[in-house]
Every structure is written in C-alpha cells, then in structure tokens.
Structure 1
Amino acid sequence: MIAITKVTTGDIMDHAIKRRSFLKLAGLGGAIYVSGLSGWASAAATAGSAYQDFFFVQLSDTHWGFEGAPNPDAHGTLQKAVKAVNSLEQQPDFIVFTGDLTHTTDDPQERRKRLREFKEIVADLKVKDVRFMPGEHDASLDNGAAYQEFFGKTHYSFEHKGVHFIVLDNVSDPAGSIGEAQLAWLAAELQPLPADANIVVFTHRPLFDLYPQWDWATRDGAKAVELLMPHANVTVFYGHIHQEHHHMTGHIAHHAAKSLIFPLPAPGSQPKRTPLAWDDAYPYRGLGYREIEAEAAPKTDFKIVELPLQKG
C-alpha cells in the first residue's frame, strides 16, 4: 500500500533550496511528503529502461488576469514564481502548470489576451520543457478552444525516464466531466502498460469527491480511478482547490498543489468557498509551488517539497 509520511511542517524561508536538501528541511521548516512507489526501480530494471533520478516542479492556479482582494500583488505573483524557480540551484527536468493559467472572463478577446500574456511571462523560465493543461477558468466557457490556440491539446501523455505521464482534461466540459471519449482514450493508453508500470497523472480538478458542494470533484472521476486501479504504482497531482491536500483512493495517492494567486479554505470549513484574507504580517502566506523528486532505489519514493512564494 502507498503510504504518505509527513516528516516535518512549517514555513520554508529560503525558496532556493538545493534538490538534495530534503533531510535538512527539519532545520529550515518545510514539509516533505513521501508517496511510496515500491515497484519503480525493479520494474525499470526488468524492462531494461534507463531509469534515472529526476525531479520536476509543479505550479498551479496562477489565475493571470485576476485583480483585487485578497491579493494586492495579483500582477506580480506569477513573475515571482518564475524568478523563484529560476533561482533553484539545480533546474528541474521539466515544469508542469496544472490548470487555471488565467482567470475566467466572458470576453473571448480578453481570454486570449490573458493566455498570451501568461505565455509571454512563463517564457522567461530557464527550463524550456514546460507542460501545460487547462483549468475551468481557461476552458469551460468555450470548451477549451482559446486554450488550444496557445497550448495545444488539453489531454495527452509523455514518457520521462521510465515514468508514463498522463494529462487528463476534466475542465473543458462545463459540467466538470472527463467524458466517454477521453475515458476511452485513457483506457487505450493504459492497456499496453504492465501492471507495475510507473504512472503519474496530472489533472486540474480532483478525481475523487473531495467536496462536491464547492465543485471540488469530477463527475466521472471514479471511472478514471477505476481504470487506473489495476496499476500498482499510480500517483495523481492536481490543483483547483488552492491548498496542499493529500488523499488516498485505495493504493493511489492524490496530492493537491497550492495556488499562486490566493489560498482557499479547507473543504467545508466555512459556509462559502471564499478566498482567505491577505495577511499583511505574512504576505504570500498560503501561496507556493512544489518540487517533486523521484529516486531510483530498492524502494523508490516521490519526495514532495512545498515551497512558499516570497517577496522580491
């Protein structure tokens, strides 16, 4: 069974953390979550693939175009995130944005303007292997048409160093469904993979019913989880809920990422899903991004390090 182990908690004050500094985090504060994928190294060796250590960075929910409370620096947080990632001593293999690149607008021209501006800002990232997927703010009003003009397909897959990555679109449908056509694609994508394949899924909404009253669910997410369940080594990374959250469906671990624009309350902790207030004493509290490292070892783990956004 995949276990999630919390090592230490608190705030990390230095966003330029070395890739290999995980065990030193107890002295800095911070959080490490370990999602055990015990079959990775042996499966890679059996298949003869050249599995290697690697790490990537996940950013989510930038909402470019958002203005006003609760973030007085709404025009600056995305640039600060780009600067923070560029300052990492060792650059990641790739970067993934898990949706809501822009803030929703009814104006198709404004939607394209925001997508264009977002793309121009993130072009300053040192790492040029940057992966994107839409959130409902980007795609639900036009079924992803404008998004695809700038970023291409809304669902796809890729391989990286012995890991099969799958990007699912559960936002282009305004009802918040994956849809039968995409589920059939997912089934075909999984069919040739061995039961112990190393699989990572990126999605925007959670695939499980976290809190449907706040749209924190995917209507047919259970069908996707059912397709994934026969595979022993699956981890899901998502966004949408603007906070760190960890959940298990059987042996599948699901990890939500913080936002780069404003934090949202814990599921059901208040009557409405309203953003948490800006704290002048602790600006950027609750905002951040994460490093995710996969290590080839007798028992391979994902080490997840949450990094806060900083001033400057």
Structure 2
Amino acid sequence: MIDRRGFLKLTALGGGAVFMSGLYGRAGAATGKAVPGYDDFYFVQLSDTHWGYSGDANPEAANTLKQAVATVNGLQVQPDFIVFTGDLTHTTDDPQERRKRMREFREIVAGLKVQTLHFMPGEHDAALDNGTAFKEHFGQTHYTFDHKGVHFIVLDNVSDPGSRIGEAQMDWLRTDLAHQAHDARIVVFTHRPLFDLAPKWDWATRDGDQALALMMPHSNVTVFYGHIHQEHHQMTGHIAHHAAKSLIFPLPAPGSQEKRTPLPWDPSAPGKGLGFREVEAEPKVGEYKIAEFPVNRT
C-alpha cells in the first residue's frame, strides 16, 4: 500500500498520477482497516504522447515518452495499472506510417515495469480510419474493467470523425450503467471532453450531453480526459471532469485565441506546461483532492 509521502515521489512525468483512496465503512473508520473489497490503490494516467511528432513545439519529442517510462519505472511503489488516454501517436495520412508509429509506441511502453496497461485512442490515432489501425495494435476502443471496487468505463469519442460517441456505443453505455448501483464508484476515461469546452477548437463531443445524461442518475461519477494538453477542471451537475496535461506540448487556455496552436517552446524551461497530477480520493463521498506538479519539479 502506498502512502502520501511515497506517492509524492512521482516526479518528472507528463500526464496524470491518480491516487484512489480506499472506501471505509464505520467499522473500517473505527479500526483503521480497510473494508474487504475496497483496498487503497493508485494508477498512473498518461495522455497525448503524440509519438511521431516532429516540430518546433517540442524539439525533444523523440525523448519525452521514453523519459516518462523511465520515471514511472523509478517509482518506489509501482501503480496498480497505467492508462493512456489517447493520442498515443501523431496523425499521419500514410496508413503504413501510422502502423509503424503504433508499433514503435508499443515497443517503448513495453519497457514499463507495470504489466497492466489500458489504452484508448485519440483522434490522431483513430479518426482517419475509424480506429482500424488502433484495434490491430491495442484492441477495442471502448470497454470496461473493474478494480478493487471501482468500475472503469473507457469511451471512444474519436473514431467517428464527426466527434461523436455514436448510437451503438451509447446503447452499450446505457446497458453497462444499468447494471451499476446508483451509488457505485464509477470512473470514466475519454479523450475529448464530454461537455462543450471550446467547440470551435474541437474541444467537445457532439453527443456528449447524451452520455452525461446516462451517467447523471449515478451519484459517484468522475471523468478523466486528455486532448486539451493542460490542466482543467469542470463540473456538469455533480459529475467532475479533470483534464490531464500532455507529454508533448501545452496548448492555450480554451478559447483564449483564434487558433489552438501549441504554446512556444522555451529552451530555458523545456518542461514548461508539462506535468503530472495527484488525485487523492474518498470515493464514498465523491471528494477528490487534486495537486498538479511541473515536469522538472525537484
């Protein structure tokens, strides 16, 4: 079991590190022992690695993902699992190059000590071929899994080039949620935000309101996403949404300029805008304490 001091050893990492606190009943609170089935654990979230990118926004793009792998491997206590929330690779019109980048990405992350890895696509991985190449290399684009009392849902809002989840997946989500208790601990992973953050920048999901409506009857839902390359926190009713920073380059604040061009690279501060996130949670009451740290924190 990891404590807060051990957790804070997670440094020099872009993306998010998420600490899920155990759920304690009255007996557990009195004795300090976790109720069976609700063990403390934490996982690491990495987002928007854009393997294959080459440009001025990150002249060190060939090293950033490898540095993140080394950092995670150096953790004193390894996470239970790692989730990659999309844009694993940078977009290309060449199907062969797309697959080459995916193979290279897999080879790099195969160096992680943690054996349980969960992948989901971003639009750079899936929009040009409806997720065909992604499925060849990483499996399904939407799925669920359960871990120590928490139900995780991975949604695909990128394989449809129209930025939609789609009717078939929406029916699948409806069926899955129907099997969950109203107070179940549910964590949702998406790439794009499910709410309208900046639609003109493609920072939205066209039918995301339908997905949120399906989640709304459940009292303990939290959404982690990527895509916007920066820290951002939003509430839609009682559902909290938290964006992860990127592993490649930061983007401007939502709607702050005409185009969503990357922030300029600063050679004196190469980790500026990249970072990791700590989330310490009491899922029973749906409260989350979040702290963001820069990449080059010492």
Which TM-score applies when normalising by structure 1?
0.84
Task: Give the letter aligned to residue 119 of structure 1.
Answer: R
Distance 2:277 2:69 in 1: 13
Q: What are the residue-to-residue correspondences of 1:21-100 with 2, within 5 Å?
A: 21=5, 41-42=24-25, 50-100=37-87
Contact 2:17-2:276 within 8 A present in 1 as well: no
| SS of equivalent to 2:61 | coil
**Is the counterpart of residue 20 in structure 1 residue 4 in structure 2?**
yes
Larger relative contact order (CA 8 Å, sep ≥ 6): 1
Match of 2:250 in 1: 263
The answer to whether the Cα contact below 8 Å between 2:90 and 2:125 also exists between their aligned partners in 1 is yes
Deviation, structure 1 residue 305:
3.8
Equivalent in the alignment of 2:31: none
Q: One-letter code of the match for 1:258?
A: K
2:173 aligned residue: 186
TM-superposed deviation, 1:36:
11
2-side partners of 1:33 and 1:88: how far apart?
Answer: 11
Contact 2:18 2:43 in 1 (8 A): no
Residues 40, 299 of structure 1: 8 Å contact kept: no
- 2:217 matched to 1:233? no
The AA in structure 2 aligned to 1:162 is G
Indicate whether 1:306 and 2:296 are aligned: no
Q: Distance in 1 between matches of 2:295 and 2:3?
A: 17
Q: Is the 8 A contact 2:151 2:184 kept in 1?
A: yes
Asked whether the 8 Å contact 1:59–1:290 carries over to 2, the reply is no
* Same amino acid, percent of matched pairs: 67
Question: Does the residue aligned with 1:78 lie in a helix, a strand or coil?
Answer: helix
In 1, the alpha carbon distance for the partners of 2:228 and 2:49 equals 12
Please list, as runs of the form range in 1=range in 2, the aligned pairs for 1:92-241 lying within 5 A after superposition.
Answer: 92-241=79-228
Deviation per CA, 1:164-200: give whole Å up to 9, x if none.
Answer: 0000000000000000000000000000111100000
Q: 2:230, 2:41 → 1: CA distance?
A: 25
SS for the counterpart of 1:21 is helix
1:53-72 CA distance string (max 9 Å, x none): 11111110000000011111
User: Could you list the runs of 5+ residues in structure 1 that have no partner in the other structure?
Assistant: 1-17, 26-31
CA distance in 2: counterparts of 1:295 and 1:90, whole angstroms: 20
TM-score normalised to structure 2 length: 0.88
Task: State the distance in 1 between where 2:131 and 2:90 align.
Answer: 14
Q: How many residues align?
A: 283
How far, CA to CA, are the matches of 2:201 and 2:36 in structure 1?
A: 42
Structure 1 residues 17-58: Cα deviation after superposition (integer angstroms, max 9, x where no partner): x85139989xxxxxx999999x95459x9xx86111111111
CA positional deviation for 1:295: 5.0
The equivalences for 1:271-310 within 5 A come to 271-295=258-282, 299=285, 301-310=287-296
| Deviation of the 1:284 alpha carbon | 1.4
Question: How far apart, in 2, do the equivalents of 1:57 and 1:19 lie?
Answer: 15
